[in-house]
A and B are shown apart, each in its own frame.
Chain A
Amino acid sequence: GQNIDQPTEMTATEGAIVQINCTYQTSGFNGLFWYQQHAGEAPTFLSYNVLDGLEEKGRFSSFLSRSKGYSYLLLKELQMKDSASYLCAALDSNYQLIWGAGTKLIIKP
């Protein structure tokens, strides 16, 4: 079956760096998305990777290794507003999105 694994919850300190991992098993692969969702709000698009490597967008970076079925989201210079859930989703060969259950990130002062 198709599956996405990501940690349920992580805690980090304001100003630090945190890496949220995501592993996927899908029938074919057409890319991987990361979304951010604050409590009670809509998920918002952060990144899309389809080729191996690291893509940087300001304080956020996303990495993909297709051979390992692995991605991570790297958040630098953490701010309190980064407290949110981070959703990983992979596109299979039929362009169906397979979602993870999300990682709740708690930032402490």
Chain B
Amino acid sequence: ETGVTQTPRHLVMGMTNKKSLKCEQHLGHNAMYWYKQSAKKPLELMFVYNFKEQTENNSVPSRFSPECPNSSHLFLHLHTLQPEDSALYLCASSQERENSPLHFGNGTRLTVT
């Protein structure tokens, strides 16, 4: 499925680097999300955007900075990360915020060294 596309698929960065994750959805959805997935843990919601406006920020450290320039694109800017930030970062979109199913991208596997 190419509905939600994430780049890059893999990223290795040092703790002093700055990098960005990109997400693009071609489904005409109004809501976009960033999730963190760590092994054997539930998905952690990081940020939610509805119609380009950030509606949720679940106590995410400031070293993660989201950007949503339009309803089809979502970025996650990363700087001065810690090794414990290594995880799979998933982008998702949905038609609306409530009970619509999420459509996920394949994720970016991030390793912080």
Bound: A99/B102 CA distance, A: 13
Q: Which of B4, B45, B98, B99 contacts A42 (CB 8 A)?
A: B4
**A101 contacts B41, C-beta separation under 8 Å:** yes
Bound: A43/B101 CA distance, A: 11
Chain A residue numbers with a CB within 8 Å of B104 are 42-44
Q: Tally the A-B contacts, defined by beta carbons under 8 Å.
A: 47
* Chain B facing A: main interface SS: loop
Within the complex, what minimum Cβ distance (angstroms) separates B102 from chain A?
7
State which residues 69-105 of B face A: CB under 8 Å. 90, 97-99, 101-105
Chain B residue numbers with a CB within 8 Å of A30 are 98-99
State which residues 54-109 of A face B: CB under 8 Å. 87, 89, 91, 95-102
- Taking Cβ atoms with an 8 Å cutoff, the residues of A that contact B are 4, 8, 30-31, 33, 35, 40-45, 48, 50, 87, 89, 91, 95-102
